[in-house]
């Protein structure tokens, strides 16, 4: 399905109700957040094979906000 913009709550419900998500973005077209959101909801993601950036994101561990927070802290502290 293709839909107009939806709220965060609605997108989570759509991910949970879906069997898989297809993100046809090209290498310059974004799609990163949608891959992580869908995978965080346990939904398999399909991307085009000519998009190595998104392909890698479908294979790696799904990171949460705490992981990114800790990485930011490490980076900041390394500069002090």
pLDDT in tens, 36-64: 999 999 999 999 999 999 999 999 898 88
Radius of gyration of the chain (CA): 15
Binned at pLDDT 50, 70 and 90, residue 15 comes out as very high
* Domains of the chain by residue range: 8-79
Q: What percent of the chain has pLDDT over 70?
A: 100
**Number of residues that make up the chain:** 80
- Residue-level pLDDT at 43: 94
Distances (CA, A) of 32 to 1, 7, 25, 45, 60: 19, 18, 9, 11, 12
Q: What percent of the chain has pLDDT over 90?
A: 72
Binned at pLDDT 50, 70 and 90, residue 26 comes out as confident
CA atoms within 13 A on the CB side of 3: 9
């Amino acid at each position: 399905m293709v839909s107009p913009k939806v709220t965060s709550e609605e997108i989570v419900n759509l991910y949970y109700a879906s069997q898989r998500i297809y993100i046809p973005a090209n290498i310059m077209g974004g799609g990163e957040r949608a891959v992580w959101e869908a995978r965080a909801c346990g939904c398999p993601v399909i991307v085009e094979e000519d998009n190595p950036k998104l392909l890698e994101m479908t294979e790696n561990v799904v990171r949460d906000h705490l992981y990114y927070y800790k990485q930011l802290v490490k980076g900041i502290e390394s500069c002090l």
